[in-house]
Chains A and B, each alone.
Chain A
């Protein structure tokens, strides 16, 4: 089968010391470790971000493997002293966050503006 090298693209930007990572596509087992590396690289960059927001508006799909990369990112952020938030989850992705219990560990916001306001 012709599986694309990765079904997930990521881009990022920085606003007032807050890094925003935007995954686009499918965060499945094949994309999870790469996505985790993107989050950890963003947290380890200089200067250190005050916060990391994952803007999920382009995220069509996430599995348990993908969820784990969020969890690792959230833990790395905590030890780096940065706020870790997610925003703009589609109804299906939000359901996965809720059912897995991750929504108790990672705060989510309806949009980027609300998430940025939370970081302050």
Chain B
């Protein structure tokens, strides 16, 4: 994977460390603080999908996270070894559906599609691979 990379087991307690890793990257790259929001959201939504739906009694998936910033565009790559999960199959959120009946991942994935400039999924080499990128306005907001 290109860029800075960190690999962790897909267990809830690791999310905090991944978020710290994102925050450190943001500071190092001197990016505007408010613009980190959709990337924090992406980390949580995708990571929690893997934890909730990719973990079985016999398998704790591994999750690799990579960050890169080129010409004002930040790219977040997330790969996991859990079962294939194609976000294209996640239906758009239906707010009238009772919460218990809500399909997996719909709302979080919908938020990321809308808030990121680019959202690409492939499943290859036994891994779910997501690439999310967004152009950052390099002025104070």
Contacts and interface: CB of A to CB of B under 8 A. Distances in A.
Interface of A: 1-3, 28-30, 61, 63-65, 67-68, 71-72, 91-92, 95-96, 99-102, 104-105
Contact of A102 (B12, B17, B37, B95): B95
B111 A99 contact: yes
Contact of B110 (A29, A30, A100): A100
A1 B40 CA distance: 17
A29 B16 contact: no
- DSSP class of A's interface residues: helix, strand, loop or mixed? helix
Interface residues of B, number: 25
A10 to B, nearest CB: 20
Nearest to A28: B44
Give me the 3 closest cross-chain CB pairs, A-B, nearest first: A1-B17, A3-B16, A64-B108
A2 B16 contact: yes
Contacts, number: 56
B13 A61 contact: no
15 contacts: A1-B16, A3-B15, A3-B16, A28-B44, A29-B44, A30-B12, A64-B107, A91-B34, A92-B38, A96-B111, A96-B115, A99-B110, A99-B115, A101-B93, A101-B95
Contacts of A61: 37, 40-41
Given A2-B16, A64-B45, A71-B99, A92 B37 contact: yes
A58 B117 CA distance: 28
B24 to A, nearest CB: 14
Nearest to A105: B95
Contacts of A92: 34, 37-38
